[in-house]
Structure formats: structure tokens, C-alpha cells
């Protein structure tokens, strides 16, 4: 066997090893990440109840457990329809946990929280640690905390990263029950924006 043939075979073996390692890494990532979707009823301040589709990319936890679902959320999506703002779907997508979606004085808002210090740093590590967004001209824009209206401070989305019992459709009654947002273990700053709430400097 010539040296050139030996080198070619060795190069081919290295390439096969690299591809195999890459495939293995992708398989591990797929096994570690899980995306779950559900719908929930959301009560707006103007009295309307709309249905919002939520989606989470969970990096850890048991998001499909029918008894006690858990999720370390790394990405979140909200999809909704409000014809006064858009003729199609309105999609909010961030690496935050949304706590509220509401309308105030003809403007649409979403406020989210950082699930871990990684996201807190990425979004600026501000205090109080709530991150506001306003729908403007067909897109979401980040707004300072001072521009979040006090009238929408109350959380109206599910507090946990995913519904506790992996429910696919969450009614207002279910969401307000002790199994979800009515659970007394949740701190006040999770139920309502607290301007005095702070996190340690990161």
C-alpha cells in the first residue's frame, strides 16, 4: 500500500470519527432538551379572556410528568391573536419566563423574569429584575422598568415554567387553583411586580 493511500485512509478515518462524535453530541443535546407546548386562558384588564399558546424549551426537569411537571426553561414563546394589534399571530420569543401579558391604554405589553443568573446577566442584571416589552409597529421593543404600567403589575400567566400537571389546556379556574398560581409557596414578587424586589449583583 502506497503512503498516499495510507494517508487518504487515515484522513477518512479521522473524518468518520469527527462525524460520529458530532452525531453523538447532537443526540445528547436532543436528549437533554425538550420543548413543550400548551394553551392557557388569559384574563386581560379590559375584561376579555383570550387563549394564548405557550411554548418552552426545557434544558432540564420533567416537563411531561403528569403528577409534578418541572422545567428549567431556556427559551419561551407566546403566540396570541389580538386583531387591534395585528391581522395575524403575534409571537413573543425570549430567553425569559413570561409572567404577564396585558393591554393598557391601547398598548400591548409582556413582562418576563430571568429563570437563572445566566439570563439575568444576558438581559442586563437590572433591579427590579423584571424585563418589559411593548408591541410597537409590528414588533416587540424592550422598554425600561419605569414604562411598565402599574395597572398591569399583577401576573396573569402561569407562574411555573410549565403547568404542574402537564396540562395541555389551562383554564382560568385551573390556573388560579392551589395546584398552579394559587399555591401558597409562591412569593409575592412572583404574583405581582414588586418595584422593591432586588437580586444580588451579578
Where are the chain's structural domains?
Answer: 1-32, 34-191
pLDDT of residue 126: 87
Longest dimension (CA), the chain: 81
pLDDT (tens digit, 0 to 9) for every residue of the chain, 202 residues total?
Answer: 554 445 445 445 543 443 344 434 333 334 457 999 999 999 999 999 999 999 999 998 888 888 788 888 899 999 999 999 999 999 999 999 999 999 999 999 999 999 999 999 999 988 999 999 999 999 999 999 999 999 999 999 999 989 998 899 999 999 999 999 999 999 999 999 999 999 875 4
Torsion, CA 71, CA 119, CA 76, CA 86, rounded to 10:
160
C-alpha cell of residue 50: 383570550
- Give per-residue burial for 23-39: e unless 16+ CB within 10 Å, then b: eeeeeeeeeeebebebe
pLDDT given at position 2: 54
Q: Enter the C-alpha cell of residue 37.
A: 407546548
d(CA 33, CA 58): 6
Cis, bond preceding 128 (omega within 30 deg of 0) = yes
Q: C-alpha angle with apex 165: 35 to 52, nearest 5 degrees?
A: 60
Q: What is the 3-state secondary structure (H, E, C) of the chain?
A: CCHHHHHHHHHHHHHHHHHHHHHHHHHHHHHHCEEEEEEEEEECCCCCEEEEEEEEEECCCCCCCCCCCCCCEEEEEEEECCCCCCCCCEEEEECCEEEEEEEECCEEEEEEECCCHHHHHHCCCCCCCCEEEEEECCEEEEECHHHCCHHHCECCCCCCCCCCCCCCEECHHHHCCCCCCCCCCCCHHHHECCCCCCCCCC
* Cell numbers placing 14: 479521522
User: Residue 101: which of 122, 128, 76 has the closest Cα?
Assistant: 76
Amino acid at each position: 500500500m502506497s503512503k498516499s493511500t495510507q494517508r487518504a485512509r487515515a484522513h477518512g478515518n479521522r473524518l468518520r470519527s469527527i462525524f460520529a462524535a458530532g452525531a453523538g453530541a447532537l443526540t445528547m443535546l436532543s436528549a437533554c432538551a425538550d420543548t413543550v407546548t400548551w394553551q392557557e386562558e388569559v384574563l386581560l384588564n379590559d375584561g376579555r379572556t383570550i387563549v394564548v399558546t405557550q411554548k418552552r424549551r426545557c434544558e432540564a426537569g420533567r416537563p411531561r410528568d403528569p403528577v409534578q411537571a418541572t422545567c428549567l426553561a431556556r427559551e419561551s414563546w407566546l403566540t396570541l391573536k389580538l386583531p387591534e394589534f395585528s391581522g395575524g399571530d403575534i409571537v413573543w420569543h425570549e430567553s425569559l419566563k413570561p409572567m404577564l401579558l396585558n393591554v393598557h391604554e391601547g398598548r400591548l405589553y409582556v413582562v418576563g423574569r430571568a429563570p437563572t443568573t445566566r439570563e439575568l446577566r444576558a438581559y442586563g442584571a437590572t433591579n427590579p429584575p423584571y424585563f418589559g416589552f411593548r408591541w410597537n409597529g409590528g414588533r416587540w421593543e424592550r422598554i425600561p422598568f419605569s414604562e411598565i404600567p402599574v395597572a398591569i403589575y399583577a401576573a396573569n400567566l402561569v407562574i411555573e415554567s410549565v403547568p404542574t400537571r402537564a396540562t395541555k389546556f389551562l383554564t382560568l379556574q385551573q390556573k388560579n387553583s392551589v395546584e398552579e398560581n394559587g399555591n401558597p409557596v409562591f412569593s409575592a414578587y412572583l404574583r405581582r411586580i414588586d418595584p422593591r424586589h432586588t437580586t444580588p449583583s451579578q
